Structure 1
Amino acid sequence: MKLSSKIPVVDPQRHNSLIEDNWVHLKEPQNLVTAIAASLPLMALNLLLTIGVISLFPPLTPDDLGISQGGFQITINLWLIAGFIGFLVMHELLHLVLIPDFTSSARTYIGITHMGGFVYSEEMIRKSAYLLITIAPFVALSILLPAMLGSMGLLSPALKILILLNSMASSMDVLTFILVLTQVPDSSYITSNGMRTYWKK
C-alpha cells in the first residue's frame, strides 16, 4: 500500500497491455465530471434510503438540517469538522481494508486531494469482492450505523448530518457498483487503470 496526493490517471501503455491480454474495458463515464453527473440521480436515491432509516427513530426534522420558518442556518463548529474528517477517513478505510492483501500490495493507493479521499488499486480483484469493497462504506455508514445508533438513542442531529453527507458522497460508489453488477460476468476479475475499469473471465 502506498500514500498518494494525486488521483491516478490513465496509463495508455497499461491500457494497451490490458486490451492485448483480453481484458474488457467497462462501459463507464470517462472523466470525473461525467461520473458526477451520472451519479446525481443515485445521490437522491441514497438520501431517500438513508432518510428512511433515520426516520425509523426520532424523526429527521427540518431543525436537524438547520431549516426553520425564519430561513436556513447551520452552525459549523470544530466538532462537526472533526466528525466530517472522521467520516471521510472511515469511508476510505472501509474501501481499503477489504482489498485482499492491501498491506503488502505495491499497486494499492490511499490519499486525500482537494476533491476528497480516494482508494485505488490495480490488483486483480474477484467481482464479488470488488462489489463488496465498492458498496461497503455506504451500507456501513449510511444504513447500518444510523440503524444501530438510532436503536440505542444515540442518533444526534450532528450525526444525522454526517451520515447524510456520507450517503451523498457514496453516489459514485453506488454507480460503480451498478455498472460492475450489470456488465461483468460472475467469477470474473476486475482491475483499474486511472478512471478506467477492466474485467476478465
Structure 2
Amino acid sequence: MLLSLPFMIINALIPMGIIYYFSDYLLQLISFFSGDSIIVTIDLGVIFAMVLVLIVHEFFHLIFIPNFMKSKDIIIGLTFFGAFVHTEQIITKVRFMFISVAPFLFLSILFPLILSISGLLKGKILVFILFNALGASVDILGFFLVFVQVPKDAIIRNNGTRTYWKMGVE
C-alpha cells in the first residue's frame, strides 16, 4: 500500500482537475474553506459514502471479469485494508489491466466528467469520487506493474494473493 501513495496523489488530482475545468463547484468549495479555520466532521453520511464506494468500486471490477455471473473462480471478500474481487480464471494481459482500472476510469474520470458538464455535481458526490480515486491507487499500481513486467501476449492467472503470467494461449 505504501508503494501506491504516489498514485493516490495523482488519482486525486485527475478528478479534481476534471471538476475544476468543467464545473464551478470546486471553486465554491475552495472559497468555503478560505476562512481562518477548517472544520472537518465525520458523520454517518461520510461513513456510508465510504462503504458505498467499497461496494460500487468492487462491483466495477466484478462486472468486467469474463462470465462473472456463472464463474465459480471468483472470490469476493473483505479484509482489514478494504474489499476485493479476484478471479482465478486465465485472462489476457489487456483484460487484466482493464479490470484493474475500470473503477477508477468509470467512477473517478467519466462520472465526474458527466456530472460536471451536466451541472449535477454536488457536495457528497465529490466525497464519493475522491474516496474512489484514493482507493484505486493500489489498482493503478497493479496496472503499471503488469504493464511493465508482463509481455504483450501473455496470459495471467491469480492464485490467492499471487499473480502469475506465462506466454501462450489459453
TM-score range, shorter chain: 0.7 to 0.9
The percent of aligned pairs where both chains have the same amino acid is: 39
Kept after mapping to 2: 8 A contact 1:127/1:186: yes
Whole-Å separation in 1 of the counterparts to 2:86 and 2:32: 35
Give the aligned residue type for 2:92: R
Moved more, 70-79 or 159-168: 70-79
**Partner residue in 2 for 1:12:** none
Whole-Å separation in 1 of the counterparts to 2:32 and 2:77: 32
SS of equivalent residue, structure 1 residue 99: coil
**Partner residue in 1 for 2:111:** 145
Whole-Å separation in 1 of the counterparts to 2:12 and 2:139: 14
How far apart are 1:115 and its partner, in Å?
2.0
TM-score (norm 2): 0.88
What does 1:1-201 align with in structure 2 at a 5 Å threshold? 36-56=1-21, 57-61=23-27, 63=29, 67-201=33-167
Structure 2 stretches of 5 or more lacking a match? none
SS of equivalent residue, structure 1 residue 96: helix
SS of equivalent residue, structure 1 residue 90: helix
| Structure with a larger share of its residues in helix | 2
Q: Which has the higher contact order (CA 8 A, sep 6+)?
A: 1
Give the aligned residue type for 2:35: Q
SS of equivalent residue, structure 1 residue 74: coil
SS of equivalent residue, structure 1 residue 72: coil
CA distances 1:54-97 after superposition (whole Å, capped 9, x unpaired): 11111424846984423222233434333332222110011011
CA RMSD of aligned residues (A): 2.0
TM-score (norm 1): 0.75
Whole-Å separation in 2 of the counterparts to 1:115 and 1:37: 12
Kept after mapping to 2: 8 A contact 1:126/1:188: yes
Give the aligned residue type for 1:181: F
Count, aligned residues: 166
